[in-house]
Amino acid sequence: MNIHTIILAAGAGSRMKSNRAKVLQTIGGMSMLQRVLNKVEKLNSKATVVLGHQKESVLKHLNSISNNANTVIQEEQLGTADAVKSALSKTTAGEKVLVLYGDVPLVSSESLNTLIAEADQGFSILTTELDEPHGYGRVITDNANTALAIVEEKDATNTQRAIKEIFTGILCIDQELLIAGLQEITNENAAKEFYLTDLVKIISAKGIKIKPIKANNDEVRGANSKKELEALETILRDMNAEDLLEQGITLADKARTDVRGDVTAGSDCELDVNVILEGKIELGNNVSIGANNYLKNVVIGDNTRIEPFSHLCNAQVGANCNIGPYARLREGSVIEDAAKVGNFVETKKTILGKGAKANHFTYLGDAEIGDNTNIGAGTITCNYDGKNKHKTSVGEDSFIGTNSSLVAPVEIGKNAYVGAGSVITKDVPDNALAVGRGKQVIKEGYSKDKK
């Protein structure tokens, strides 16, 4: 089955009170439009995005997140049916057209797959039930649960107003059937707009059975204001936390766990409060993530603990490691098994070997640290000369004294020692001691004379 998804993203979203287009507002660290496109990719569907308000900024964002989506411009916002009609030129005969909305980002793949499967007779719609459906178009069905029409609140009878099932606006329909139906939709209403909801009555009158598919209310909610956007953020956080619990991850408080990407984990992993997981996260067995940690695109091995207030981004941590508190592992950091990165230590494009330690107040950039080497407090690799970055290499079983500066490019051998407070500018051979500091001078009676 060939699917072509039309994503409506032309709305102004004035109630957002923002300079950004509505579909560019973010939840879970990602724009609403990108979340919809991610769902479309999982369906292996073609995509056409209908642009309108702030089309330049939306197009720029779209080009940064997708190479496959087509775009069309809805020059005047004349209603949802008009928006869909503007994208018809991108579709082809024989396709089923799925209509989604750029500000309804949480619809599940399961619901969409069911919707598509049930469109085998030509047309299916996604609905939901509300305890308080006031203001929404009610789904009118027959005894066989076939949708006959969508009746707006102002046009509904008292009996119809008692119906709790409403139309979400999401639908799947044969391309040829869509073209025929859109030609019959008029703007004979108070707003003088062409409404996609009218399509149900028009297609039903042609004898086509329309299947309503019920979705969970949370997944079909949209956002037209910052208040509604925050509500989506809460729903997404809860959905993602439930996924972690299903994987067997222990959460101290799911309301204070933010997942903004994909997480896989082994057994007996634990997350304390206020943890943010972004991008692709892979946790081994028995991994413990302390409170107030931020992890993005990180792989962590078995039995490793990340202490509170640490920041790990595009890094790899081995098994049996201890990281933090207040550690920062930047892009390209590889912390090998049983190594330790302590408080206020920052690494960047650095390999810290097995069993190596950098316990306090250290910067290691563009460095390779050998196994079982100890990096003393206050040590820095001086990797930048104002124009280029250079590498520092320290062999295994070495000891770098407190408050040392290693001026790259420089190599320190195996089982070597660097005295505390040294500035090392030349290579140090294996088994050697290097001391590079100014001579101490003592002037007795200096304070007395000074006063």
CA distance 169 to 199: 10
CA distance 408 to 389: 8
61, 134, 311, 360: the catalytic one is 360
Residues 6+ apart with CB under 8 A from 150: 137, 138, 139, 140, 167, 197, 198, 200, 201
Buried b (16+ CB within 10 A) or exposed e, 208-229: bbbbbbebbebbbbbbebeebb
Q: Under a CB-based contact definition with an 8 Å cutoff, are residues 146 and 201 in contact?
A: no
Q: Under a CB-based contact definition with an 8 Å cutoff, are residues 393 and 373 in contact?
A: no
CA distance 287 to 305: 6
CA distance 189 to 247: 50
52 DSSP 8-state letter? B
Q: What are phi and psi of 416, to 5 degrees?
A: -95, 160
CA distance 158 to 139: 14
Residue that is written with structure tokens 């650095």 in the block: 350
51 DSSP 8-state letter? E
Residue that is written with structure tokens 């969409």 in the block: 112
**Cα 207 from chain centroid?**
44
360 is catalytic: yes
274: alpha, beta or left, given left = phi > 0 and alpha = psi -120 to 50?
left
Tokens of 360: 């306090």
Residue 385: helix, strand or coil by DSSP?
coil
- Comparing C-alpha atoms, which of 391, 379, 369 is closest to residue 418? 379
- Comparing C-alpha atoms, which of 215, 250, 249, 252 is closest to residue 235? 215
Residues 6+ apart with CB under 8 A from 450: none
Half-sphere exposure of residue 428: CA atoms within 13 angstroms, side-chain side: 29
Point out the residues that are catalytic.
360
